């Protein structure tokens, strides 16, 4: 069966510090991968998605970036965090090339920028 891992679970960072969040998927090959942010009381905002190694599409211009160095690894980064970057960051995967494309989410990272 497939599993998705994210770490860390919680993170408190000062404004201006760098960020690196990691997501890995097990039990499937060539998944589509996604990064979402959910601010308090808000909906899911798609940040990045990837259909393959090195292929990243950005949905919202901001100070975040994503990379996919391996098939089942997705990394979210920032060089300098802003207060507005606080939120619940969720990684998700879905099967590639499938018309009915359910997404499965990792446990998330709760980021607080102070």
Partner 1 sequence: RKEVEQDPGPFNVPEGATVAFNCTYSNSASQSFFWYRQDCRKEPKLLMSVYSSGNEDGRFTAQLNRASQYISLLIRDSKLSDSATYLCAVNGRGGSYIPTFGRGTSLIVHP
**Residues near partner 1, by CB under 8 A:** 32, 34, 42-44, 46, 49, 88, 90, 94, 98-108, 110
Q: Are 95 and 86 in contact (CB under 8 A)?
A: no
Tell me whether the omega of the peptide bond preceding residue 8 falls within 30 degrees of 0, making it cis: yes
The whole-angstrom separation of Cα 17 and Cα 32 is 29
83 versus 99: smaller Cβ distance to partner 1? 99
36 versus 85: smaller Cβ distance to partner 1? 36
Please report how close the Cβ of residue 78 comes to partner 1 at its closest, in angstroms. Answer: 21
37 versus 72: smaller Cβ distance to partner 1? 37
What tokens does 8 get? 């860390």
């Amino acid at each position: 069966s497939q599993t998705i891992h994210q770490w860390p679970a919680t993170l408190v960072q000062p404004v201006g510090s760098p960020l690196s969040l990691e997501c890995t998927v097990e039990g499937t090959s060539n998944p589509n991968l996604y990064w979402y942010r959910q601010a308090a009381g808000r909906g899911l905002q798609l940040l990045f998605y990837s259909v393959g190694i090195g292929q990243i599409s950005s949905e919202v211009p901001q100070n975040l970036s994503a990379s996919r160095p391996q098939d089942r690894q997705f990394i979210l980064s920032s060089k300098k965090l802003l207060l507005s970057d606080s939120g619940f960051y969720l990684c998700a995967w879905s099967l590639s090339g499938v018309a009915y494309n359910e997404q499965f989410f990792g446990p998330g990272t709760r980021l607080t920028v102070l």
